[in-house]
């Protein structure tokens, strides 16, 4: 199966409006399920709250009955004890209050079958038979005892009713908890079903199939790219080499002791090295020599002088200087422009002059080309030589000045020669016969 056939088997994506419609349908179904579950849960909670309120009202009513029964008992006992000392009007008032209170007890206990209702009726009948004008009321003592028994029985009813209410509340609480848990579980199951039916069927399953097709294409592509791995490895090697070269160039750019144009030591590094060699020569009483090499001026046919030596020519000069400074005590540095400086430690004037001759002759024989329109086809150099035995810690810069003066004098006299300050060396025609190779 080729690549085109595999691409043809990839299922096409659904239109965007259809995808939006299915997402909206799934959202609405899940929202309706959540709302329905919330309504059912709120309804159950409201029902339980209503039942709890009714139970509290029933308990409060029972407590009122107990209170009225106890008040009747106390009232009858006080009335029987103070009957002879009370005036007629007070008797009538107290009896009227107790009759009204007892009538309320009878009305409250009218729906209560059993002994409590009969006892309340008997107390009411006894109060009705009591007359305020009577001198003796033996019935009041019996009514007080009967009211006490009624209060005790009503209290028992109140305790039993309270226990029943607590039992009902606990049972309702468990029923409500189980109902809410069942509805929540049902909502979760329905939500998962809708999510898989609407989302998984129309989105996840096509994506899984598309992933399989992409894996097949990736395997096919891997087989095709296996043949180009050697070429890729070569490209990686070249890139690694370029990065290494770039890193070296950056290191040179950020190193103040390295000249960026030639890769040699910089002027500051030259001064530091010359000062150190000067102090060493002072300690050992040895000569310190210096060569200052520069390309001779290149004149153009229009009469103007070339501003600076081309980079290729300067690179060849550097290569020749490096070849002739192979000793460990030789130090080659870039002075300025197209000038190169060579510090020769433990080297007297005679050896320095020989090296200067060799440099002039080698550059002359190398035939380094000059730019077009130049009056002379080859590059030549002039060398200024200076040498001293240090006598004090100061004076190393005098060596530079003498080398510059000698170089300037050599260039003024026509170039292609080496001069030592203050003596004048033979011209370039002598170099061809006397230079040491």
Taking all residues of the chain, what is their mean pLDDT, rounded to a whole number?
A: 77
Higher pLDDT, 96 or 384: 384
Q: What is the reported pLDDT for 337? A: 83
* Predicted pLDDT of residue 353: 92
What is the reported pTM? 0.42
CATH code that applies to domain 267-434: 3.30.70.270
Higher pLDDT, 357 or 181: 357
Please give the pLDDT value at position 292: 92
Predicted local confidence at residue 183, as pLDDT: 75
Q: Residue 412, CB half-sphere, CA atoms under 13 Å: how many? A: 9
Instruction: Decide if 325 contacts 332 (C-beta within 8 A).
Output: yes
pLDDT top residue among 408 and 306? 408
Domain extent listing, the chain: 16-206, 267-434
Is the pLDDT score of 334 beyond 70?
A: yes
pLDDT per position as a tens digit, 187-219: 777 777 766 666 666 666 666 777 788 877 777
Q: Which residue has the higher pLDDT, 26 or 298?
A: 298
Span 122-161, pLDDT tens digits: 878 887 887 877 776 667 777 778 878 877 877 777 666 6
pLDDT above 50 for 436: no
pLDDT tens readout for residues 74-91: 877 777 777 778 888 888
**pLDDT reported for residue 230:** 64
Using one digit for the tens of pLDDT, what is the confidence trace for 225-282? Answer: 555 566 667 777 777 777 766 666 665 555 677 877 777 888 888 898 988 999 998 8
The percentage of residues in the chain with a pLDDT greater than 70, rounded to a whole number, is 77
């Amino acid at each position: 199966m080729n690549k085109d056939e595999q691409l043809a088997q990839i299922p096409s994506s659904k239109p965007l409006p259809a995808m939006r419609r299915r997402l909206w349908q799934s959202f609405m179904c899940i929202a309706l399920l959540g709302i329905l579950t919330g309504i059912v849960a709120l309804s159950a909670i409201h029902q339980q709250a209503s039942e709890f309120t009714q139970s509290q009202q029933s308990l409060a009513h029972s407590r009122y009955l107990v209170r009225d029964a106890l008040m009747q008992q106390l009232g009858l006992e006080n009335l029987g004890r103070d009957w002879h000392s009370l005036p007629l009007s007070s008797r009538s008032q107290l009896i009227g209050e107790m009759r009204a209170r007892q009538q309320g007890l009878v009305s409250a206990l009218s729906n209560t079958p059993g002994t409590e209702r009969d006892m309340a009726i008997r107390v009411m009948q006894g109060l009705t038979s009591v007359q305020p004008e009577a001198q003796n009321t033996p019935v009041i003592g019996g009514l007080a005892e009967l009211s006490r028994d009624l209060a005790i029985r009503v209290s028992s009813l109140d305790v039993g009713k309270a226990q029943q209410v607590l039992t009902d509340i606990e049972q309702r609480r468990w029923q409500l908890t189980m109902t809410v848990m069942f509805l929540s579980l049902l909502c979760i199951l329905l939500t998962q079903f809708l999510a898989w039916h609407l989302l998984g069927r129309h989105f996840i399953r096509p994506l899984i199939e598309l992933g399989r097709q992409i894996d097949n294409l990736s395997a096919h592509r891997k087989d095709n790219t296996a043949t180009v791995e050697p070429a890729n490895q070569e490209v990686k090697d070249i890139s690694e080499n370029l990065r290494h070269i770039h890193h070296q160039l950056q290191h040179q750019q950020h190193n103040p002791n390295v000249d960026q144009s030639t890769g040699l030591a910089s002027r500051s590094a030259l001064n530091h090295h010359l000062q150190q060699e000067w102090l060493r020569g002072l300690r050992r009483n040895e000569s310190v020599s210096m060569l200052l090499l520069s390309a001779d001026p290149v004149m153009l046919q229009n009469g103007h002088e070339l501003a600076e030596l081309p980079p290729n020519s300067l690179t060849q000069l550097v290569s020749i200087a490096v070849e002739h400074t192979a000793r460990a005590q030789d130090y080659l540095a870039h002075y300025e422009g197209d000038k190169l400086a060579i510090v020769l430690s433990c080297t007297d004037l005679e050896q320095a002059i020989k090296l200067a001759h060799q440099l002039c002759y080698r550059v002359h024989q190398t035939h380094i080309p000059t730019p077009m329109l130049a009056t002379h086809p080859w590059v030549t150099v002039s060398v200024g030589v200076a040498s001293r035995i240090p006598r004090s810690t100061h004076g190393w810069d005098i060596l530079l000045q003498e080398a510059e003066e000698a170089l300037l004098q050599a260039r003024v006299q026509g170039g292609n020669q080496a001069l030592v300050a203050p003596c004048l060396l033979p011209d370039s025609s002598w170099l061809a016969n006397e230079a040491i190779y």
